[in-house]
Amino acid sequence: MENGRKYLVGGAIVAVAVAGLGWTMFPRSETVSAGTQVKTEKAAGMLAVLPDRARLLGIKASPALPASEAPIADLPATISPPANARVAVTATLPGVVMRTMVVEGDSVRAGQPLAVVSSRDILTLGADLARANARLGVAQTSAARLSQLDKEGVIAGARADEARAVAMEARADVREKSRILSLVGGHGSSGTYTLTAPIAGRITRAKIQTGDPLDGTTAPYVIDANGRYEVVAQVPERLVGQIRPGMTVKLGALSGTVTSVGSTIDAMTRSASLKASLPAAPGVIAGATGNVTIFGPAPKGAVVLPAAAVVDTDGKSVVFVAVRGGYVQREVTKGGAVDGQVLLLTGVSIGENVVTTGTSALKALAISK
């Protein structure tokens, strides 16, 4: 009977040992999301995720890259053309608009016709040119005839010289009247002239309609040159000393360069004027507003990662760093985010592999620990 009790006790001990071994060999699985089971190891703060489960959850990591630039300020700004890149197209002579060929917003090439204007002045110039051509014809005929008579000794050479001088004067008069008509794009026979684009660019103002009178002093069109825009912003006094020409600026997906920072602080706004160059691109229109980000040198040791790598938990910004056997959660200090990239000042070293996809699954595991 005593031996029987020993066997029973021994059997119970063995059963408990086997059960404990089974628990060790087959850890309890935890639900992450949508019933997905992930094996975790709760030791030293590490989330132990087996490679096959990591692939199933879509967990991917990327190395932290060294940051070369860091955002200094985000400022409201206005887009405008540089002072030397805007041209007004004026009506050279008074008249009436007969036809318009472009509208506001159109892109034009240098020399492209913009509008046709009917003008009495062009009719007058055309008539003057016709008379000048007639006088030239008579003068040339007379000069040729007198030159021949001079060669034959019939008349004095002075008369032939005088006739040649008259012909030269008539020729100069024709050239001058032709030049004036050409400058205004005039067509003497029809009494019209054509307004043309002096530069290639975009029509940013078109205050002209068919039938409108033009007085010769108005500028019916304004053209902004292609490929050149300027960003104008106000820099707070505390940041004036940190921003210098040559620094990078970004407006949406466009990158430009700071060209000048004012040296005088406005007494009312306590700010200085900043100007930066910006390339032309679809959607970039003079007069538009937006926020421009100014970049300066990044602090030593700062890294850049996709913004999706950083998650918020318990009011802290954290990332998950890949280590041997799983992932560890690290608190980080952000230095700003631009174009889907985030700058990290502390918490991650250059070259460390940081999870950029599948962070939600790891966050759920970290919360459940």
Contacts 24+ apart (CB under 8 A), 250-259: 250/292, 250/293, 250/295, 250/338, 250/339, 251/77, 251/79, 251/278, 251/290, 251/291, 251/292, 251/293, 252/290, 253/339, 254/278, 254/279, 254/281, 254/284, 256/231, 258/294, 259/230
As a whole number of angstroms, the distance between CA 257 and CA 231 comes to 9
User: How much is the pLDDT for 103?
Assistant: 92
pLDDT at residue 35 tops 70: no
Beta bridge partners of 235: 272
pLDDT at 286 over 60: yes
Say if CB 273 and CB 231 are below 8 A apart. no
Summarize the confidence of residues 60-84 as an average pLDDT. 86
What residue type is assigned to position 171 of the chain? R
* Poorest-pLDDT segment among 17-21, 55-59, 251-255, 262-266: 17-21
Residue 19 has pLDDT above 60, yes or no: no
Mean local confidence (pLDDT), 341-356? 91
Round the average pLDDT of the chain to a whole number and report it.
Answer: 79
End-to-end CA distance of the chain: 49
The residue written with tokens 């409201």 in the block is: 76
**pLDDT greater than 70 at residue 116:** yes
Comparing 279 with 348, the larger pLDDT belongs to: 348
Determine the Cα–Cα distance for residues 181 and 127; give it in Å rounded to an integer.
11
CA distances 185 to 30, 114, 173, 211, Å, are: 83, 11, 18, 19
**Size (the chain), residues:** 369
Domains along the sequence of the chain with CATH: 30-68+301-368 (2.40.420.20), 70-84+226-297 (2.40.30.170), 124-190 (1.10.287)
The per-residue pLDDT for 63 is 93
Strand ranges, E, within 262-309: 271-278, 289-297, 303-306
Token pair 């008369």: residue: 159
Output the pLDDT for position 38.
35
Please determine, for residue 8, whether its predicted confidence score (pLDDT) is greater than 60: no
Residue 330: predicted pLDDT: 92
Side chain identity at residue 365, one-letter code:
L
* DSSP class per residue in 44-109: TTEE---HHHHHHHT-EEEEPEEPSEEEEEEEEEEEE--GGGEEEE--SS-EEEEEE---TT-EE-
For the cut 90, the answer to whether the pLDDT of residue 362 exceeds it is no
Quote helix, strand, coil % in the chain, to nearest 5: 30, 35, 30
Question: What residues contact 347, with CB distance under 8 A and at least 6 apart?
Answer: 319, 330, 331, 332, 333
Residue 20: predicted pLDDT: 36
188 pLDDT band (50/70/90 cuts)?
Answer: low
Does residue 363 surpass a pLDDT of 60? yes
State the average pLDDT over residues 66-87.
Answer: 84
Q: Locate 365 and state its tokens.
A: 């595991």
293 with 71: CB under 8 angstroms? yes
Q: Which phi and psi (to 5°) does residue 5 adopt?
A: -65, -35
Please say if the pLDDT value at position 218 is more than 60: yes
Strand order of the β-sheet with 341-346 is: 65-66, 303-306, 341-346, 333-338
- Which of the four pLDDT bands, split at 50, 70 and 90, describes residue 340? confident
What would the mean pLDDT of 337-360 be, rounded to a whole number?
Answer: 88
For residue 42, CA distances in Å to 48, 50, 235, 279, 359 come to 8, 13, 50, 54, 18
Mean pLDDT computed over 187-203: 83
Mean pLDDT over 364-369 rounds to 77
Q: Taking residues 245-256, what's their average pLDDT?
A: 86
Q: Which position has the token pair 């466009």?
A: 254
Stretch 13-31: mean pLDDT: 33
Q: What are phi and psi of 351, to 5 degrees?
A: 95, -15
Q: Is the pLDDT of residue 41 over 80?
A: no
Write down the pLDDT at residue 369.
Answer: 66
Helix (H) or strand (E) holding 165: helix 157-183
Predicted confidence band of residue 114 (pLDDT cuts 50, 70, 90) = very high
| Residue that wins the pLDDT comparison between 195 and 369 | 195
pLDDT at 32: 35
User: Mutual orientation of helices 157-183 and 120-152 as an angle, nearest 10°?
Assistant: 160
